[in-house]
């Protein structure tokens, strides 16, 4: 289906370190199928790597809302919270 194809294309772009294009594809996948948790998770990972912790946490929370058993999303959410707190402590 379209959402899966967009998500997969986003993955290819992510592996090529084209983060902006990957985020665009993940967002398009979400718009195509809003209840598909995987592109939220993948977009969250990219946002996390870019240091956009609030946006990443929002995506990880959406994944858990759609699928409470998605353990990697729970782990990623916890890590984003910890890293955001550490960044705030260091004030950078």
Count structural domains, the chain. Answer: 1
- Tens-place pLDDT, residues 46-83: 999 999 999 999 999 999 999 999 999 999 999 999 99
Range of the domain at 31: 2-91
Q: What does pTM read for this prediction? A: 0.93
DSSP, collapsed to helix, strand or coil, labels residue 85 as helix
Q: pLDDT-based confidence at 30, cuts 50/70/90?
A: very high
Query: How many CB atoms are located within 10 Å of the residue 44 CB?
Result: 25
Contact call for residues 80 and 61 (beta carbons, < 8 A)? no
CATH of the domain at 13: 1.25.40.10
pLDDT at 87: 87
The torsion of the CA quartet 40, 64, 74, 44, rounded to 10 degrees, works out to: 10
């Amino acid at each position: 289906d379209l959402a899966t194809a967009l998500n997969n294309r986003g993955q290819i772009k992510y592996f090529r370190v084209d983060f902006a294009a990957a985020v665009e594809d993940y967002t398009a996948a979400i718009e195509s199928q809003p209840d598909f948790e995987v592109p939220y998770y993948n977009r969250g990972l990219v946002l996390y790597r870019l240091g956009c912790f609030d946006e990443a946490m929002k995506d990880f929370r959406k994944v858990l809302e759609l699928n409470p058993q998605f353990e990697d999303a729970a782990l990623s959410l916890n890590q984003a919270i910890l890293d955001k707190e550490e960044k705030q402590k260091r004030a950078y």
